[in-house]
Amino acid sequence: DTGVSQNPRHKITKRGQNVTFRCDPISEHNRLYWYRQTLGQGPEFLTYFQNEAQLEKSRLLSDRFSAERPKGSFSTLEIQRTEQGDSAMYLCASSSQGANSPLHFGNGTRLTVT
Amino acid sequence: GQQLNQSPQSMFIQEGEDVSMNCTSSSIFNTWLWYKQDPGEGPVLLIALYKAGELTSNGRLTAQFGITRKDSFLNISASIPSDVGIYFCAGAESPSSGSARQLTFGSGTQLTVLP
């Protein structure tokens, strides 16, 4: 078990372009989360999957953002028509279904929109 | 919405000193977690607290879940250089089966340990 894996680690894109990030959770975890973290702040919740079902979405997740987890394993987060304000660290986390199962985070994808 | 106030924002301490940081919430949480984040990496779980009044240790780290459910503190004893990093508290609402564990994070405490 290598923990939560995120790719790419860094992404630089021009404003208006689309980007996609991938997250591979810990293999036995059926819950997967996306968070966003800006400089000097703690992570903020974006969305959550249980298996392949997207069960919750934050109001931070605008229409330009879409997340999928088609087979209940890896997940992708796509941002369309990127804006400079999208620049942040995008963190993925996973947990098992137990009531007290803590979240384990990956090392994130650092997005810079120029 | 829920907000967490974490203090202090930053600390500079001498190696060997003890450290204390805390978080307070405007509403009740049923789970408190403490994470450490190093530059360019994701948060790593240090301690999880699930019961009001609970006091839990992990090596030199000790954390407590406040009895009001609106606060938690983290102590680090005998600090060493590798303790440098950003420490985040995080709270979650009651984790009934099937509900999401949306964590609300504090804004972090930047710890610097001077040799």
Q: Which residues of chain A from 34 to 63 reach within 8 Å of chain B, CB to CB?
A: 35, 40-45, 48, 50, 55-56
Q: Hey, what amino acid is at A35?
A: Y
Three-state SS for chain A is CCCCEEECCEEEECCCCCEEEEEECCCCCCEEEEEEECCCCCCEEEEEEECCEEEEECCCCCCCEEEECCCCCCEEEEECCCCHHHCEEEEEEEECCCCCCCCEECCCEEEEEC
Segment B48-69, tens digit of pLDDT: 998 999 999 999 999 999 999 9
d(CA A36, CA A54): 17
d(CA B21, CA B61): 11
| Ranges of residues in chain A whose predicted pLDDT is under 70 | 1, 99
Contacts of A106 in chain B (CB under 8 A): 42
Asked if A104 reaches chain B (Cβ–Cβ under 8 Å), the answer is yes
What local confidence, expressed as pLDDT, does residue A81 receive?
97
Asked if A23 reaches chain B (Cβ–Cβ under 8 Å), the answer is no
d(CA B42, CA A114): 23
Please answer yes or no on whether B102 and A45 come within 8 Å at the CB atom: yes
What local confidence, expressed as pLDDT, does residue B96 receive?
47
